[in-house]
Amino acid sequence: MMKNFNNQDSTNIGIMGDAELAKAQLDFVSKAYGWMVAGLLTTGSIAWYMFDSGAYLYLLDSMMFLMIGTLGLVWFMSSRIDKISAQTAMILFIVYAGLLGVTLSTVFAIYSLGSIANVFFVTAGMFGAMSAYGYTTKKDLSGVGRFMFMGLVGIILASIMNFFIASSVLQMTISFIGVIVFAGLAAYDTQKIKEMYTLQFEGSEIATKGAIMGALTLYLDFINMFLFLLYFLGDRD
């Protein structure tokens, strides 16, 4: 999702001191995390409202179409980010987070509220630790990213197969691998976003769009890690 921004360059980089460089990196990563948190708050609020009001019951038959719609929205954002405005990107990100909140409202009907809260905090701790590692490590995590992407492809294929055979053992295996994959991606994606700080010198429009695409990537890492952990640790009602 961030490939459109990875080749940006700036003549200001060569004259920056270490302190200026560190501040520019921190500022850009903070923008991405700010948008990620906004997305998570939007998703959580709408998911709870849909469940608490009972509105999700009227949409159960449409959940598959909503899920397809969210996938289409992610594809549109990532493929058209160079052509849409920053304001449009912001709106699409919040709309996506809201739609995913609608589809995730069923989680409250399956798991107890206490276990959802516990798993959320566990996820936040794991995600924060892996992100901190990705931000601070001097090691190039490109190899980790490629390996985790291969794992992600395997998860998708195994999930499709399990849709037909409905094996609880396979689902447990998928969830276990999924936690590892998205933990690794959290570190890798954080490092990649840190390297995108040069977008701040390309103008506020490009910087905002870069931060939003970085936020979308982190948001997906967090949500998927949360859902896989919930399968392990959640108490079903």
Question: Does 219 score more than 90 pLDDT?
Answer: yes
Residue 111 bridge partners (DSSP): 236
Angle at which helices 63-80 and 204-233 cross, to 10°: 150
In angstroms, rounded to a whole number, what is the distance separating the alpha carbons of residues 27 and 92? 23
pLDDT tens-digit profile of 95-135? 999 999 999 999 999 999 999 999 999 999 999 999 999 99
Distance of CA 37 to the CA centre of its chain: 10
Convert the pLDDT of each residue in 128-166 to its tens digit: 999 999 999 999 999 999 999 999 999 999 988 988 888
pLDDT band at 7 (very low <50, low <70, confident <90, very high): very low
DSSP state of 84: S
Which amino acid type is present at position 232? F
Instruction: Name the β-bridge partners of 236.
Output: 111
Structure tokens at 17: 């001191």
Instruction: Report the predicted TM-score, pTM, of the whole model to 2 decimal places.
Output: 0.88
Q: Which amino acid is at 162?
A: N
> Within the chain, where are the H helices?
18-53, 63-80, 86-103, 107-110, 113-136, 142-165, 168-195, 204-233
Mean of all residue pLDDT scores within the chain: 88
